[in-house]
Chains A and B, each alone.
Chain A
């Protein structure tokens, strides 16, 4: 079985500051990992995904994440926060080679302060 834990349900940063959203996973087989973003009253949009290629993954809107097997982590970062980054962010995991569904974390609400 797979699961993800997102540390910190709310994160606040100042505009221009580093964004760091934490995700740890548990998986009995090599995982595929994803970060999604959700704006109010909208569906989820994929930011980036790790599928066992490069461990540093670059996504849209300047976000990136690094897969660290030794730490079972897949933290999301962005060097400089923008007001438009304010949203809820979800980490998700799926077992590689499986047709099954993604398992999501409980989400981190990012607030960007002016």
Chain B
């Protein structure tokens, strides 16, 4: 399978704990995106990388959230001191290189976080 891979698929944690999600994009894609989706809503943009550079961050990404893509391949999204409001599906997507691209995003199946 050469699609976008995310793990873990499900994570249940207690409030105040730290969690980390991993995303492995499609290998030839140099752009990688993180989105958050809550029940009944569309995905909301969190951040995106071009290669290893984090080029944009949403205001939704508080200082408890940090994302990295150290070698321009896989990415991690860490949430520190989790709060119940962080409960959501965290989606990773990747896309093809080049500004001339049509911008189609390929999504992983998501990592669902439940904060108790």
Contact = CB atoms under 8 A, between A and B. Distances in A.
Q: Tell whether A and B belong to one assembly.
A: yes
Interface of A: 9, 32, 34, 36, 41-46, 49, 51, 90, 92, 94, 97-107
A45 B43 contact: no
A67 B91 CA distance: 27
11 contacts: A9-B40, A32-B102, A44-B105, A49-B102, A92-B42, A97-B100, A99-B31, A99-B50, A99-B99, A101-B35, A106-B40
Interface stretch (B63-71, B74-82, B106-114): B106-114
Which residue, of A36, A98, A99, has the highest number of chain B Cβ atoms within 10 A? A99
B104 A46 contact: yes
Interface of B: 4, 31, 33, 35, 40-45, 48, 50, 55-56, 91, 93, 99-100, 102-110, 112
Nearest to A36: B107
Contact of A32 (B4, B35, B93, B103): B103
A107 B99 contact: no
Contacts of A104: 42-44
Given A100-B56, A101-B33, A101-B45, A43 B104 contact: no
Contacts of B45: 101-103
A101 B107 contact: no
A106 B43 CA distance: 8
Contacts of B44: 104
Contact of A97 (B35, B40, B99, B109): B99
The 3 closest A-B pairs by CB, nearest first: A104-B42, A43-B107, A44-B107
B12 to A, nearest CB: 15
B102 A44 contact: no
Contacts of B99: 97-99
A102 B105 contact: yes
A97 B103 CA distance: 9
Nearest to A45: B107
Contacts of A45: 107
A93 B110 CA distance: 21
